[in-house]
Amino acid sequence: MSEIKKPFRNGGFLSELEVDIQALVEGLDAALSSNLKRVTFFISQRTHNYVLDLKPHGDEKIQALINQADLLRKMFNCCELHLFLGLNDNRCFKLARRAIISQLSWSEKTPTGKKRKETCIKCFEGTVVLQMYSVDGCLHRFCFSCMRKHIQEKLLTGMVVKCPHDGCTVQLIANSCKKFLLLNLVSLMSQPMEEAAIPIEERIYCPYPRCSTLMSKRDVLKCTKESFARAQGCRKCIGCQLYFCIDCEVPWHHNMSCSDYRRSNPNTVKSLAREKMWQQCKKCKIMVELVDGCYHISCWCGYEFCYKCRAVWKKRKPTCNCGDKRKNTRQ
Higher pLDDT, 144 or 66: 144
Whole-prediction pTM = 0.40
Query: Which structural domain, as residue segments, surrounds residue 331?
Result: 277-331
Lowest-pLDDT range, 33-37, 203-207, 271-275, 325-329?
A: 325-329
Give the DSSP H or E segment for 79. Answer: strand 78-83
**Residue 227 domain flag:** yes
| Claim to verify: residue 181 and residue 131 sit in the same structural domain | yes
Average pLDDT, the chain: 79
Whether 104 is in a domain gets the answer no
Q: Is residue 231 located within the same domain as residue 156? A: no
Q: Where are the alpha helices (DSSP H) in 74-143?
A: 90-102
User: Do 123 and 190 belong to one domain?
Assistant: yes
Those residues with Cβ within 8 angstroms of residue 309's Cβ, 6 or more apart along the chain or in another chain: 320, 322
Instruction: Read off the pLDDT band of 230 (50, 70, 90).
Output: low
Q: Per-residue pLDDT for 66 more than 70?
A: yes
Q: Looking at the structure, do residues 191 and 162 belong to the same domain, yes or no?
A: yes
Residue 229 confidence class, pLDDT cut points 50, 70, 90 = low
Same domain, 222 and 264: yes
Mapping DSSP to helix (H, G, I), strand (E, B) and coil, where does residue 216 land? Answer: strand
**Average pLDDT of span 226-243:** 77
pLDDT of residue 104: 61
- Per-residue CA distances from 287 to 152, 279, 300, 304 (Å): 25, 6, 11, 14
The stretch 233-241 carries a mean pLDDT of 89
DSSP-derived secondary structure letter, 197: T
Q: Quick one: pLDDT at residue 244?
A: 92
What value does the mean pLDDT take over residues 44-64?
78
Nearest to 80 by CA among 19, 124, 38: 38
The structural domain count of the chain equals: 4
In the 3-class helix/strand/coil scheme, how is 232-273 assigned residue by residue? CCEEECCCCCCEEECCCCEECCCCCCHHHHHHHCCCHHHHHH
> What crossing angle do the helices spanning 60-73 and 16-33 adopt, rounded to 10°?
30
Cα separation, 253 vs 251, in Å, equals: 6
Q: How far lies 207's CA from each of 135, 213, 235, in Å?
A: 38, 8, 11
Q: What is the mean pLDDT of residues 107-126?
A: 78
What is the predicted pLDDT for the residue at 328? 35
Last residue of a domain, one of 165, 195, 225: 195
Query: Where a domain ends, among 253, 269, 285?
Result: 269
Count of alpha carbons within 13 angstroms of residue 24, beta-carbon side: 32
151 vs 45, residue with greater confidence: 151
Is there a domain that residue 92 lies in?
Answer: yes
Average pLDDT over residues 162-180: 90
Q: Kindly state whether residues 179 and 232 are assigned to the same domain.
A: no
**Residue 189 maps to which CATH number?**
3.30.40.10
User: Mean pLDDT, to the nearest integer, of 217-239?
Assistant: 77
